């Protein structure tokens, strides 16, 4: 008999159950109680002595009901599992409970296991809970620990406070417990998902420290209002300035800025995640861990002001869920992240209400991930909830399945409605006359371009490959900073990735420094080739150590084509272009 093993502590049970199953059934048939009104007609039930940690039973043609002395019960309907299947319910305290912290008041888990694969029909689990441990406004949820995603995800739950019972239908067997759907606090209620998300992030860093990196003398005013959700300071950053900011709330917020930043990076994420989030409309997502660097190097004008306000609304929830969906699947981040961003854009362009936006996002994500899994050959209908270890699937497939199970858990736990409630109570921190932060400057050097100079990224280009190629980027090439640059996809094989510009003989000169972005693979080498009206006018090979200066006469050029092709090294998928045309500028 094959036993489906989910957790290491159950290894001993695989052998024990095979030995005692026939004895248990014999005892049940000779002396067990008659089926009660909540049991399937003709099903056999087991009622072991008080104090036992595990109860076991064997499914018959009529099903099975297991009653644990700790107050839990499991009902398997007829036809859900083959006759002869051994089922066990074990009470304990499992290691993954630590992730739940204060969300889980009693520290008890229930391990449901079977000797065959999951049921073809839902089974019903009833577990005890303490209604007095549920704060006002919160509600209890039965949850499943999902090995693939690493999250505790809810199932549809009915609470019966009068009897202290939670009733849930399970699509599969594994570790179960109950949690609160939110934790009320002085800084506002935190959802079960936000709490777990924070637990899975790197530890909270210290508040921003800008000492030792003086504010440029042309930055005339810096105001940070405490109590509005963000702690911040301002420091020098190369030829400009940077805002170091940290979320002081226990949940994610959005920092809206009325002047676009040159770059945004977070210590709680990596550059790939930052770039994924940067593709979504809206402000800067601030996580309750780490801190963000918001760079203005260069500032957008010689004289200006940046104001920031914090909000927690539907946009914040959507942006944060996109982040978490991509974070679950690092091996499949290019595909999952791209799908999540596309779904995020759809949600943000739809209804204004938070609950509706989150519902649109989750529906879109479920469809996109399901389609992706089917393309990989994964049996979504029959296999999504099978207790298969992540090690038995290719990493990208396992993580994508985990992301889909996570999304299904959000839908089962009605997270869209909860997000609407939290957003409505979170509101906006900071007003027009009292913003979260304000930075005012005057006399910033050079950043206003001289008349007659046009950055290449500001021209409309035709790209042979879609994506963020031809767009503005800030980069360091061979140790030097180029804040006003143009990114270019690198082709890993023929045909080359190209950018085509219709200059229409309106410019006289093109200057740039060709190189590779810092995040490009260290062994990569790339050939940049420029073709003017069908004639090659420049060709340079660059890598991390060597850049190439481009200075071309384009006074009679109608069409300019720029291509970048790998000549050596690795070239993995990336959401950002490896190639950079530093400070690429056209002169009239």
* Cα 548 to Cα 540: distance, rounded to the nearest angstrom: 6
Of 242, 246, 226, nearest in space to 234 by CA:
242
Number of H helices, E strands in the chain: 9, 35
> What distances in angstroms separate CA 50 from CA 47, 67, 68, 69, one per listed residue?
9, 11, 8, 5
Give the pLDDT score at 35: 30
> What distances in angstroms separate CA 20 from CA 25, 74, 92, 197, one per listed residue?
9, 19, 21, 41
Digitized pLDDT (tens) for each residue of the chain, 588 residues in all: 333 333 333 333 333 433 333 333 333 322 233 332 223 333 344 444 444 588 999 999 999 999 999 999 999 999 999 999 999 999 987 788 888 999 999 999 999 988 887 888 889 999 999 999 999 889 999 999 988 888 999 999 999 999 999 999 988 888 899 999 999 887 778 899 999 988 888 776 667 878 777 889 999 999 988 777 888 999 988 778 999 999 888 889 999 888 878 788 888 777 778 877 878 888 889 888 888 899 888 787 788 899 998 888 889 999 999 999 999 998 888 889 889 999 999 999 888 899 999 999 999 999 999 999 999 888 887 778 776 665 678 889 989 999 999 999 999 889 999 999 888 876 666 555 567 899 999 988 765 566 678 889 888 778 887 778 888 888 888 877 787 789 999 988 777 788 999 998 889 999 999 999 988 888 999 999 999 999 999 999 999 888 999 999 999 999 999 999 999 998 887 888 999 999 899 998
Q: Contact, 100 vs 196, CB < 8 A? A: yes
Give the pLDDT score at 289: 84
Give the pLDDT score at 205: 61
Enter the pTM of the model: 0.69
* Cα 437 to Cα 263: distance, rounded to the nearest angstrom: 18
Give the pLDDT score at 89: 93
149's tokens: 């995603």
Beta pairing class for 525-532 and 535-542 = antiparallel
H-only helix segments in 201-254 = none
90 three-state secondary structure: strand
């Amino acid at each position: 008999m094959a036993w489906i093993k989910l957790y290491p502590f159950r290894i001993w049970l695989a052998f024990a159950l095979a030995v005692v199953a026939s004895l248990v059934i014999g005892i049940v048939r000779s002396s067990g109680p008659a089926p009660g009104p909540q049991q399937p007609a003709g099903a056999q039930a087991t009622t072991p002595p008080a104090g036992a940690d595990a109860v076991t039973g064997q499914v018959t043609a009529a099903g099975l009901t297991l009653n644990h002395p700790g107050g839990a019960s499991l009902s398997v309907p007829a036809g859900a599992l083959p006759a002869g299947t051994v089922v066990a319910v074990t009470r304990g305290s499992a290691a993954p409970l630590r992730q739940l912290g204060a969300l889980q008041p009693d520290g008890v888990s229930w391990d449901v296991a079977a000797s065959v694969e999951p049921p073809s029909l839902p089974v019903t689990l009833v577990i005890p809970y303490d209604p007095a441990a549920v704060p006002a406004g919160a509600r209890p949820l039965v949850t499943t620990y999902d090995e693939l995603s690493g999250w505790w995800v809810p199932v549809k739950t009915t609470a019966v406070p009068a009897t202290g019972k939670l009733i849930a239908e399970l699509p599969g067997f594994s570790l179960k417990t109950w949690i609160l759907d939110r934790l009320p606090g002085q800084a506002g209620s935190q959802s079960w998902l936000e709490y777990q998300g924070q637990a899975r992030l790197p530890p909270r860093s210290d508040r921003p420290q800008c000492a030792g990196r003086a504010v440029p003398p042309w930055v005339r005013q810096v105001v940070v209002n405490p109590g509005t959700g963000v702690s911040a300071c301002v420091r020098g950053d190369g030829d400009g300035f940077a805002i170091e900011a940290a979320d002081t709330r226990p949940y994610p917020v959005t920092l809206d800025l009325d002047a676009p930043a040159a770059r945004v990076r977070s210590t709680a994420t990596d550059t790939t995640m930052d770039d994924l989030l940067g593709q979504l409309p809206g402000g800067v997502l601030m996580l309750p861990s780490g801190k963000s660097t918001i760079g203005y190097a260069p500032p957008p004008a010689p004289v200006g002001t940046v104001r920031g306000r914090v909000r927690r609304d539907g946009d914040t929830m959507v942006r944060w869920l996109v982040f978490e969906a991509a974070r679950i699947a690092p091996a499949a981040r290019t595909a999952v992240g791209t799908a999540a961003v596309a779904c995020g854009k759809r949600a943000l362009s739809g209804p204004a209400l938070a609950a509706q936006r989150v519902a649109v996002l989750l529906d879109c994500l479920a469809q996109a991930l399901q389609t992706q899994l089917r393309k990989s050959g994964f049996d979504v209908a029959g296999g999504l909830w099978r207790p298969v270890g992540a090690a038995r699937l290719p990493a990208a497939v396992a993580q994508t399945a985990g992301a889909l199970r996570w999304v299904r858990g959000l839908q089962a736990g009605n997270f869209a409605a909860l997000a609407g409630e939290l957003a409505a109570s979170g509101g906006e921190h900071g007003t027009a006359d009292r913003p979260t932060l304000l930075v005012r400057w005057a006399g910033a050097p050079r950043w206003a371009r001289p008349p007659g100079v046009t950055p290449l990224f500001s021209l409309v280009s035709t790209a042979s490959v879609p994506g963020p190629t031809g767009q503005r980027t800030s980069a360091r090439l061979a140790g030097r900073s180029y804040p006003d640059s143009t990114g270019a996809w690198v082709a890993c094989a023929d045909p080359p990735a190209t950018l085509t510009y219709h200059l229409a003989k309106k410019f006289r000169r093109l200057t740039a420094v060709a190189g590779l972005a810092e995040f490009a693979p260290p062994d990569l080498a790339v050939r940049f080739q420029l073709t003017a009206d069908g004639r090659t006018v420049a060709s340079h090979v660059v890598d991390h150590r060597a850049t190439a200066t481009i200075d071309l006469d384009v006074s009679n050029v109608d069409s300019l084509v720029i291509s970048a092709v790998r000549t050596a090294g690795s070239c993995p998928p990336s959401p950002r272009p490896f190639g950079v045309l530093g400070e690429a500028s056209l002169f009239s």
